[in-house]
Amino acid sequence: MASKLNWRAATVAACMTLAAVCGSAQAQEIPMVTGQHWTTSTEQVKKAYLVGVANAVQVEAAFAGATPAPDTQTIIPRLVKGMKGKTLDGVREGLDKYYAANPDKLQRPVLETIWFEMVVPGLK
């Protein structure tokens, strides 16, 4: 139980740190996490980010239930299929390797990198 509380506290702290790294956002603006943010974040912040993305996908998939929207209206089924078998640590390591090998692409959004470097190849 204590380890769950520690994990939750670490996750909350990591999310707050990521929010600070991304800067303050106005009401109509959502900060885009780029490779620059990724490469300067701690492992805990990276994990918290990926947990947040995974949770958003799970919520969307659960909301769709047995009748998911067609591919023309959502990317969730393709995202789930393309990421099948990947772990959060595997995704984190993949992103670390990608940005280390491509320092000229640090302005590329992390979600775009996940999509084109992990999801799309996973669909084939």
Among 91, 82, 124, CA closest to 110: 91
Q: What is the pLDDT of residues 22-47, one digit of tens each?
A: 555 555 677 899 999 999 999 999 99
Among 57, 107, 97, 56, CA closest to 81: 57
Q: pLDDT at residue 58 above 60?
A: yes
Q: Say which residues have a Cβ less than 8 Å from residue 118's Cβ, sequence separation at least 6.
A: 82, 83, 86, 91, 94
The residue that leads in pLDDT, 22 or 65, is: 65
Q: What is the pLDDT of residues 74-119, one digit of tens each?
A: 888 899 899 999 999 999 999 999 999 999 999 999 999 999 999 9
Cross-strand partners of 109: 34
Q: pLDDT at residue 5 above 50?
A: no
pTM for the whole structure: 0.74
107 with 36: CB under 8 angstroms? yes
